[in-house]
Amino acid sequence: MNCEVCQLKELEVEHFEIREVLRCILHTIVFHRALGLVRPKDVDLELFEITYVQCGDVELEKKIDEKIDHFISWVEKHPNKKSQICLSFYEVKSKQPSWFTNKTERLYWEQWYVNLNVTQHPKHHSSKSHHTKLVVDPGESATEERSCRRAMVEASLREVLFQIIKFVNEKKDHVPPISEGVIYFPYEITIPSSSDSAFGMDMIKRMLHSGHPTMLS
């Protein structure tokens, strides 16, 4: 079984938009992969005029929020950096136990990469924009700029969602069969770790030792 990979369009978001954007994207993906009996839950974003869908599972919502919190913490420590969140779906396969591996392994059949570019607040007239709280003369231009930027982010987010829909529609064959009593496929959310290099190492580590149950989830 091959692993389908979908690189989503990069979104340029501000710090306060991260939570909503990630919730929207991650829940949309998971909803498409929650093929068990669900009662969908519509959620309206507060920052954007977009309604996304959750599959209604409380545990799932909790886990996603935890991951988002970790990501936000990482972003705060690494400002102005492009980041990537990986949502992977896998199957648990049993295999021959050995010294370095467990009995089960994870076979990833789908990976979604959410690319974010977290930006700072818009620069003010003052050079010390990071610490300046007073705006010299925001006027209407700043408001217009803000609303324009917000509209752009919303449009980009909408594009990403349509990208997800198209991907789900175009590629169906790789999706495993539905197990009885299971709402959604096992998944894994990978966020950048404390250092950039460690993030890449984590990915390699995961590839080499795929099936390690508790490394990154």
Partner 1 sequence: MTSTHTNSHTEAAKMEQVITEFFYKSLLIILESRSSYVSSRNYSGEQTVSSPSSSSSSSSSVRPRDKWFNLALRECPSALENLDLCRQSNFEPVVVDVVLEQKPLDWGPASFSPTSDLVRNLSSKNKNSYFWNCDQDESGSEMKCEKIIERWFVQHESRKGRDCNSGNRRSSCNNLSALYKKLILMLRSLYVTVRLLPAYNIFRDLNSSGLIRSFKLVPRVSSFVEPLARKEEVDMQRFWFTPVDTSCGRLCLSVLYYSSISDMSSESSTPMSPQFIPDYVGSPLADPLRRFPSLPVSHGSPSSLPFSRRHSWSYDHYKASPPLVSFSPSPTHSESNALVSNPTSRGLPPMSLPPHPPETSLAHKRNTNFDEYCPSPNFSASPSPSPSPSLPIYIPRTHLSKDLLRSESAPVNIAAPKLANSPALSGKQNLPPSPPLKITRAGTSRADNIRVPAETDATVDKIFSFGKEDCWKYSGVKAFSNSSPRISCSRSSSRSLQDDFDYSEFPCPFDVEDGEMMDPGSRKSQDAAVGALVRMLKKAPPLRQNVSLNFSEASRPEILSNSIPKQSQISEAVTVEHAAAPNIASFRLVASKTTTDALEELRGYKVMKNLLLSEGGKAYTSNVASAAEHSSTSKGT
CB of 97 to partner 1, least distance (A): 32
Place of tokens 């990978």: 190
Q: Contact, 9 vs 163, CB < 8 A?
A: yes
Of these, 4, 14, 19, 41, which contacts partner 1 (CB under 8 A)?
41
57 binds partner 1 (CB under 8 A): yes
**β 104-119/4-7 pair status:** parallel
What is the Cα–Cα distance from 53 to 168, expressed in whole angstroms?
15
Binding to partner 1 in span 154-213, by CB under 8 A:
154-155, 158, 161-162, 164-165, 168-170, 172, 175, 177-178, 181, 183
Interaction of residue 22 with partner 1, rule CB under 8 A:
no
Tally of CA atoms within 13 A in the half-sphere of 8 that contains its CB: 32
d(CA 196, CA 83): 9
Mark the segment that binds partner 1 (CB under 8 A) among 35-43, 67-75, 86-94, 208-216: 35-43
Counting residues that bind partner 1 (by CB under 8 A) gives 39
User: Is residue 186 within 8 Å of residue 213, measured between CB atoms?
Assistant: no
| Paired strand residues for 4 | 110
Smaller CB separation from partner 1, 74 or 90: 90
Nearer to partner 1, 36 or 186 (CB): 36
Tokens 């990071």 sit on residue = 130
- Summarize as ranges the residues that interact with partner 1 (CB under 8 A): 28, 31-32, 34-42, 44, 49-53, 56-58, 151-152, 154-155, 158, 161-162, 164-165, 168-170, 172, 175, 177-178, 181, 183
